[in-house]
Amino acid sequence: MNIFTKSTIAAVLLSTAADTCTVNAQNENAEENKTSYIVNPTALRQKNEGWGVSLCWWANMCGKWTNNRITTIVNWLTSPKVLNYNIFRYNIGGGDDPENKNCTPHHMGAEGGKGLRAEMEGFKDSSDGEYVWSRDEAQRKIMLKIKEKRPDAIFEAFSNSAPYYMTYSGCCAGNTNGLKDNLKPEYYEEFAHYLVDVCKHYKDEYGIEFKTLEPFNESQTDYWYANGAQEGCHFDVKSQIEFLKVLSPILKESGLNTIISASDETNVWQSIHAFEEYKSAGVLDLVGQWNTHTYSGTDKDKSKIGSMARDAGKRLWMSETGDGGEGIGGNLNMAQRLINDIRYIMPDAWMDWQYIEEWSDQWGLVKANFGEQTYERTKNFYVRMHFSQYIKQGYTYIATSNPQTLAAVNENADTLVLVAINPSSEPVAHEANLIFCQPDGDIACKRTSESESMKEIKDYTLENNMLRFTLPKLSVVTFVIPVKTNKQEDTAIEEDVPYMIVPQYNAHVCLSASNGNVSIEECATDLTDVSGMSAAQTWFFHKDGDAYTLQNRNGDILTGTLPDYYLTTKKQKTGNQWFIVTPVEKYLVKITTKDGVKAFDLDSESYSSGTRVGLWDYGTSVAAGHRNWLLMRLPDKSIVDRIGNIKENDENGNPFSFSCDNGILNVSMNKEAYSTSSVPMLTLYSPSGDKLLKKNLSSNSIALPLAKGIYIVCIETAQQSYSSKVLMK
DSSP 38-64: EEEEEEEEEE--EEEEE-TTHHHHHTT
Lowest-confidence pick of 8-17, 118-127, 343-352: 8-17
Note the pLDDT of residue 651.
53
pLDDT (average), residues 314-323: 97
Q: What is the DSSP letter of 23?
A: B
Domains 501-635 and 638-728 share a fold: no
Is it the case that residue 44 has pLDDT exceeding 60?
yes
In this predicted model, which residue has the larger pLDDT, 203 or 729?
Answer: 203
Is it the case that residue 459 has pLDDT exceeding 50?
yes
pLDDT (average), residues 490-511: 85
Please count the other Cβ atoms lying within 10 Å of the Cβ belonging to residue 699.
Answer: 9
Per CATH, the number for 501-635 is 2.80.10.50
Is 500 in a helix, a strand, or coil?
strand
Q: At the top level of CATH, which class does the domain 638-728 belong to?
A: mainly beta
Is 5 in a helix, a strand, or coil?
coil
pLDDT (average), residues 563-567: 94
- The span from the CA of 270 to the CA of 237, in Å, is 10
Extended strands (E) in 359-514: 366-369, 374-377, 396-400, 405-409, 415-422, 428-434, 437-439, 444-448, 455-456, 460-463, 466-471, 475-485, 499-503, 509-514
Note the pLDDT of residue 255.
96
Note the pLDDT of residue 623.
75
Note the pLDDT of residue 257.
98
Q: Are strands 50-54 and 349-352 parallel, antiparallel or unpaired?
A: parallel
Is it the case that residue 14 has pLDDT exceeding 50?
no
The domain covering 21-47+397-485 belongs, at the CATH homologous superfamily level, to Golgi alpha-mannosidase II (2.60.40.1180)
**Could you read off the pLDDT of 572-613 as tens digits, one per residue?**
988 899 999 999 887 889 999 999 889 999 999 999 999 999
**Could you read off the pLDDT of 690-703 as tens digits, one per residue?**
667 777 777 777 88
Cβ atoms of 275 and 249 within 8 Å: the answer is no
- Grade residue 650 by pLDDT with cuts at 50, 70 and 90: low
Cβ atoms of 245 and 286 within 8 Å: the answer is yes
% of the chain beyond a pLDDT of 90:
69
Predicted TM-score of the model (pTM): 0.85
φ and ψ at residue 574, rounded to 5 degrees = -135, -170
pLDDT (average), residues 320-348: 96
Is it the case that residue 17 has pLDDT exceeding 50?
no
pLDDT (average), residues 549-562: 93
- Grade residue 169 by pLDDT with cuts at 50, 70 and 90: very high
End-to-end CA distance of the chain: 6
Domain ranges of the chain: 21-47+397-485, 50-390, 501-635, 638-728
Residues in the chain: 729
Is it the case that residue 282 has pLDDT exceeding 80?
yes
pLDDT (average), residues 122-149: 97
Per CATH, the number for 50-390 is 3.20.20.80
Note the pLDDT of residue 7.
27
Note the pLDDT of residue 397.
96
pLDDT (average), residues 198-222: 97
pLDDT (average), residues 465-485: 94
- The span from the CA of 447 to the CA of 472, in Å, is 10
- The span from the CA of 104 to the CA of 108, in Å, is 9
Q: What is the DSSP letter of 149?
A: H
Is it the case that residue 19 has pLDDT exceeding 90?
no
Starting at the edge strand found earlier in the chain, the sheet holding 656-661 runs 647-648, 656-661, 664-669, 701-705
Cβ atoms of 308 and 292 within 8 Å: the answer is no
Note the pLDDT of residue 9.
24
- The span from the CA of 160 to the CA of 200, in Å, is 19
Lowest-confidence pick of 109-118, 131-140, 399-408, 445-454: 109-118
Segment 275-280 long-range contacts (CB within 8 Å, at least 24 positions apart): 275/305, 275/308, 275/309, 276/308, 277/237, 277/238, 277/241, 278/237, 278/240, 278/241, 278/244, 279/308, 279/312
Note the pLDDT of residue 634.
82
Is it the case that residue 260 has pLDDT exceeding 70?
yes
Note the pLDDT of residue 21.
35
Note the pLDDT of residue 381.
98
Average pLDDT of the chain? 88
